Amino acid sequence: MNKVTGGSRRDMARLDVSRHAARLFLKNGFDATSGDDIAAAAGISKRTVWRYFRSKEACIEPVLMFGELSFAALLRKWPKTESIETYLPKAVVEFASDADVVRDGMLAVRILAILHREPALRSSWLMACHAAEVQLIGIVADRAGRSQDDFEVRLCAAATAAAIRLVDEEISMAAINDGLQFGLDETTSRIAAAIRTASILPICDPVS
């Protein structure tokens, strides 16, 4: 996480616990997993778990947020001279070469695939998406040449974040629950198309 957010040692510790919690939720289910289970898997005390997290479902926020903020960091590097369709395929190759991103990305995909039967976990997913949306406000404002307080900038960021979320959920559920396969090119193409469709401001083409 510190490569993406400059996080502290505590942030990294929370991310490690989050990975253990995600694996337990996937293996045993949310209701059947206790704070004691998470603490034992992470090798810490239950008291420390609740010092890190406000609730059991919040335990997976860091692992979900890692991927969302990593993708937002990728978009922050988007050159103004390139369209989303030109930039994203090149950038995602670098994104997918990061072992931490891939590992946590696969955990996130598996979590998204069970949201329909583990609704308690959706709040953590929405928190992660909101964190990405906050980052998108700055990206949209920069490309649109407007203030971050501009309503249309915030609306564009919200719509774009929602579009990315829907693609993430759709692909995750189809891949895990239905056994469909998605190559990196197809996934990237879907995300780029979703960003363009959702953007109410002209940010997807080269800007001056």
Could you read off the pLDDT of 168-199 as tens digits, one per residue?
999 999 999 999 998 989 999 999 999 999 99
DSSP state of 55: S
| Cβ-contact 157, 133 below 8 angstroms | yes
Q: Taking the complete model, does pTM exceed 0.85, yes or no?
A: yes
- pLDDT at residue 51 is higher than 90: yes
Which whole number is the average pLDDT over 86-115? 91
CATH entry, 60-198, from 1.10.357.10, 1.10.8.60, 3.40.720.10, 3.40.50.1820? 1.10.357.10
Where are the domains positioned within the chain?
60-198
Supply the pLDDT for residue 8.
86
- Give the C-alpha separation, 38 to 54, whole Å: 14
- pLDDT at residue 5 is higher than 50: no
| Cβ-contact 39, 48 below 8 angstroms | yes
Could you read off the pLDDT of 153-166 as tens digits, one per residue?
999 999 999 999 99
